[in-house]
Structure 1
Amino acid sequence: MNETPYHVHLVSDATGETLTSVMRACLVQFDGVPIIQHRWWLVRTQGQVDRLMEGIGRHPGLVVFTMVDPAIRQALEERCRELGVPVLSLLDPVMEALARLSHSKAHRQPGLQHTLDEGYFDRIDAMQFTLALDDGQALDRLSEADVVVVGVSRTSKTPTCMFLANKGIRAANVPLVPEIDPPQVLLDLKGPLVVGLTRDPRSLSDIRRNRLRIMNEERDTTYADLEAVEREVTAARRLYTRMGWLVIDVTRRSIEEVAATIMQRLAMMRGETGL
């Protein structure tokens, strides 16, 4: 296998989130291919184009950009052609298709997706809500949630809720504790979507054991004991079935996949056609 690295330059007139996500999705399909990423964010002036071209000149390679300002992107494309490096606009195919569909023109204004609009403040509100109702806190506000995530310890409840909050979804989570009945307010809940997370007991036992090791917790405990974990998981699943809650096995799913499943079900509840 060729060990010489390939250089890829990611150029954005905003925060680069779109480029970063797309590149991450693409690179996992090229396992073992050595790629060095160079990130150039908030490129909005000719002077910034000059500086990034110096970097591209030192490490020639594929240039992928999401710049929308016509003058700045033209300067970038012309300079790349002069250097003989390939250059690709990530947004053009979709924007052109939307323009044809809607018979309208794009604004071509950098950073519009990050403006302080209503959606932005919804996300901030959701994040504050999720932090306030993390790990069974403020149960009296549970009915205000869009989604309530339930599960035994170490089933990724908090990271899932934080991901949902970043999408503007008010998510709360309630832990299931052995030998303790679930809070009645949870069992009586009517409005929010309730989701029960579960995990393979052996995998969960390993995760808990590693957690104890990291915390230097050496006392005798059933927290990571496989038989005890199996009983916890079984009891949790019986509760989910009895309550008719959506059940998601997180054993082989990423946080993003779990959240996507929840958002899809939430959209169906709300009568929406998409996420």
Structure 2
Amino acid sequence: MPRLHLHLLSDSTGETLEMIAKAALAQFEEADVQRHFWPMVRSRQHIDRIVPDIAAHPGLVLFTLVNPDIRARLEEHCVTLGLPAVPVLDGVTEALASHLGQQAHGRPGRQHSMDAAYFARVDAIQYTIAHDDGIAHEDWEEADILLAGVSRSSKTPTSIYLANRGYKVANIPLVVESPPPSALFTLRRPLIVGLTTAPDRLIQIRRNRLLTIAEGRESDYVDAERVAAEVRFARRLFADNDWPVIDVTRRSIEETAAAIIRLLSERDAHLSPAAAGGAI
């Protein structure tokens, strides 16, 4: 398969565009793609400086440019070069404008403005970092989500991903010899989710972890019987407390986070006054 040069142009940080491109490329496992990333493109002159590189590496151009003059300049160059230029947000923006009955503001980087949601996300990240690995359990009631699982069951990376989505997340490692604090069993606000994984996959991850810290000795940390007992202990704890469980064995962090957000939404919908009224 020939290499595809993918040019990504954004008038802001480009985070949204990168996420869209990544999600789309995930559907093409064998694709050989080289990405060329151009953030903060906010003038015709900037477009003109980028075009020679696009011409030298012809391919597909994806963009999120709201200024009509700058967009037109890029599209003119792409027509001249015979290259497709795709405005990836246009379809969604037009559909929203139609249903909301108003025009989009057309301001670059508006989704990254320092509004209340931005500061809430910063607060969530700070909370999550401060409550990693079982720390500060006295503040767990402030969390939106609490993740529980044995060591190396993706608790921390999933917590950080969720924090970037604006959720306050605490997590706790489950250890057979060390019962979790009693506060875990009296929480009312957070959604408690158990993360589990296949023992053989867990052993592989733990071995890789030991290699990164130059620890080559065998230990209970990677002993097959020991690890299987840890997983059984965690599963029993989840079942005894009726906590939802997600098996992360074949899930990416993004997939695990999406499942957790769905669980939280379902719980909140069930607990909302409207849902309660409907049930009556």
Q: Who is 2:84 aligned against?
A: 86
Partner of 2:118: 120
Which of 211, 224, 227 aligns to 2:225? It is 227
Aligned to 1:180: 178
Decide which of 152, 155, 171 is 2:153's aligned counterpart. 155
**Structure-1 residue corresponding to 2:107:** 109
Residues paired across the two proteins, number: 271
Equivalence for 2:68 = 70
Aligned letter for 1:27? L
**How many Å apart are 1:60 and its aligned residue?**
1.7
Q: Within 2, Cα distance between the matches of 1:101 and 1:47?
A: 35
- Determine the structure 2 residue equivalent to 1:27: 25
Q: Distance in 1 between matches of 2:108 and 2:189?
A: 39
1:13 is matched with 11
Counterpart position of 2:199: 201
Task: Give the Cα–Cα distance (whole angstroms) in 2 for the partners of residues 219 and 140 of structure 1.
Answer: 36
Could you tell me how far 1:149 is from its partner in structure 2? 0.5
**1:92: Cα distance to partner?**
1.0
Distance 2:14 2:204 in 1: 36
What residue identity is the alignment partner of 1:164? L
Find the aligned partners of 2:178 and 2:123 in 1 and give their Cα distance.
31
Q: What is the CA deviation profile of residues 209-234 of structure 1, one whole-angstrom value per residue up to 9, with x for unaligned ones?
A: 22222222244521110110111100
Distance 1:206 1:76 in 2: 48
Task: Return the match for 1:100 from 94, 98, 101.
Answer: 98
TM-score, with structure 2 as normaliser: 0.93
In the other structure, the counterpart of 2:127 is 129
RMSD: 1.5
Partner Cα distance (1:220, 1:182) in 2: 26
Query: Which whole-Å CA distance do the structure 2 matches of 1:34 and 1:234 have between them?
Result: 42
Matched residue of 1:178: which SS? coil
Q: Distance in 1 between matches of 2:113 and 2:218?
A: 52
Q: Which runs of 5+ in 2 are unaligned?
A: 273-280
Q: Secondary structure at the match of 1:150?
A: strand
What fraction of aligned residue pairs are identical, expressed as a percent?
A: 49
Farther-moved stretch of structure 1 (148-157 vs 34-43): 34-43
Match of 1:53 among 51, 54, 63: 51
Code of the residue aligned with 1:80 in structure 2: it is C
- Residue in structure 1 matched with residue 278 of structure 2 by the alignment: none
Q: Against the structure 1 CA distance between its residues 243 and 71, is the aligned structure 2 distance closer, same or farther, given a 3 Å change threshold?
A: same
Q: Does 1:270 align with 2:277?
A: no
Once the two structures are TM-superposed, the CA of residue 93 in structure 1 deviates from its matched residue by 1.0
Residue from 138, 141, 144 that aligns with 2:139: 141
TM-score normalised according to structure 1 size = 0.94
Partner deviation per Cα, 1:57-109 (whole Å, 9 max, x = no partner): 21122111111111110111112112221111111111111111122111111
Task: State how far apart, in whole Å, the 2-side matches of 1:49 and 1:141 are.
Answer: 50
Alpha-carbon distance, 1:5 to partner: 1.9
Unaligned runs of 5+ in 1: none
User: Once the 2 structures are TM-superposed, how far is the Cα of residue 17 of structure 1 from its aligned partner?
Assistant: 1.4
Q: Distance in 2 between matches of 1:31 and 1:142?
A: 40
Question: Distance between the aligned counterparts of 2:34 and 2:218, measured in 1?
Answer: 47
Cα deviation, residue 33, structure 1 = 2.7
Paired letter, 1:32: E
- 1:245 equivalenced with 2:243 (yes/no): yes
